[in-house]
Amino acid sequence: MIYIGNHLSSTAGFLAMGKAATKLGGDTFAFFTRNPRGGKAKEIVKSDADALMEYLSENKFGPLVAHAPYTMNLCSDKPDIRKFARDMLVDDMERMEYVPGNLYNFHPGSHVGQGVETASDYIVEALDEALTPGMHTTVLLETMAGKGSEVGRNFEELAAIRARVRCPEHLGVCLDTCHVWDGGYDISDIDSVLDEFDRVIGLEHLKAIHMNDSMNVIGAHKDRHEKIGEGCIGSEILKSVVRCPRLQGLPFILETPNDDEGYTREIALIRGWMK
């Protein structure tokens, strides 16, 4: 089995997200650690975080997959933007300690013309500040579609970052089906894509799946998510991903353009695909 859920709003607090996930049929979920456009985060109420932790274990949830703000660019060419992103990452690591044992996903960033090597140096520097031996969160680099100057357009770019951080045991990868498809990986043969992942990164470092269809053809480098079964990837391929024996036990997060009703339907659809 896999865990399945979708991205939820965090405005009503932690326990409310757990209950909202259950209502939609999920047993995991994603949430933004702060306003997706960045800025100062809301104060965490410890009793609310504790209540969620209890709720998750009582209801046998899989690991949660928190998402960093989209604007967090650790490898910007502007020092003030890099500093802002780094401070946000460090602060988020402290916040994640309120819900220990979960995952925190982020986009490596855009190098905006400096080249991927310079960008990776900045990303590694930031991770070395944020990742500490005693932490209880696993941080995930997300596979990207390769839109513009995005870092993480292939497995090699993510592996190069993992290889250089001081605490690689706290750094894994989240595979986004829309992004790898747009990046040119043919997931109609999921096994060979995972062989490639294993060879380059190591399959044991794959900790979560972002489950999306794509509005665009393979290799388009566009990153436009579509509802499950309504895009260019399609149900048959996505079903083979859900059923892939090597992905069992992972949290799958829907980031499809849906309302609650749509997510309820997609979660039920995917549960029907599980073996």
Round to whole Å and give the CA distance between 46 and 101.
16
Q: How far is the CB of 201 from Fe ion (least distance, A)?
A: 17
207 binds, among Zn ion, Fe ion, none (CB under 5 to 8 A by kind): none
Number of residues that bind Zn ion (CB under 5 A): 1
Q: Name the minimum Å distance from CB 174 to Fe ion.
A: 7
Closest approach of Zn ion to the CB of residue 145, in Å: 6
Residue 133 burial (CB count, 10 A):
8
Q: Which is nearer to Zn ion, 93 or 105 (CB)?
A: 105
Hey, what are 153's tokens? 């357009």
DSSP-derived secondary structure for 189-233: GHHHHHHHHHHHT-GGGEEEEEE-EESS-TT-----EE-TTSSSS
Give me the least distance between CB of 50 and Zn ion, in Å please: 32
Let me know if 109 is exposed, middle or buried by CB neighbors in 10 A (0-12, 13-18, 19+): buried
Nearer to Zn ion, 223 or 266 (CB): 223
> Tokens 């609310």, residue?
48
Q: Are 254 and 266 in contact (CB under 8 A)?
A: yes
182 binds Fe ion (CB under 5 A): no
CB of 176 to Zn ion, least distance (A): 6
- Which residues, in sequence order, are bridge partners of residue 50? none
Nearer to Fe ion, 18 or 183 (CB): 183
- Residues numbered 135 to 154 that lie near Fe ion (CB under 5 A) are 142
The one of Zn ion, Fe ion, none whose footprint includes residue 210, by CB under 5 to 8 A per kind, is Fe ion
Choose between 99 and 254: whose C-beta lies nearer to Zn ion: 254
Cα distances (Å, whole numbers) of residue 235 to 93, 113, 216, 251: 36, 37, 15, 19
Pairing of strands 3-8, 251-254: parallel
Closest-by-Cβ residue to Zn ion is: 223
Is residue 216 a contact partner of residue 180, using CB atoms and an 8 Å limit?
Answer: no
Using CB under 5 A as the binding criterion, the count of chain residues that bind Fe ion stands at 3
- Measured from the CB atom, the residue of 164 and 222 that comes closer to Zn ion is 222
Question: Which CB sits closer to Fe ion, 67 or 111?
Answer: 67
Question: Letter for the amino acid at 230?
Answer: E
CB of residue 223 to Zn ion, shortest distance in Å = 4
Which residues, numbered 196-225, are part of the site for Zn ion (CB under 5 A)? 223
- For the bound state, the minimum distance from the C-beta of residue 106 to Fe ion, rounded and expressed in Å, comes to 8
Contact 6, 30 (CB under 8 A): yes
Burial class (CB in 10 A: 0-12, 13-18, 19+), 105: buried
Q: Which of 92, 176, 213, 266 binds Fe ion (CB under 5 A)?
A: 176
The site partner of 223 among Zn ion, Fe ion, none (C-beta below 5 to 8 Å per kind) is Zn ion
Question: Interface with Fe ion by CB under 5 A: which residues?
Answer: 142, 176, 210
Residues lying near Zn ion in the complex (CB under 5 A) are found at 223
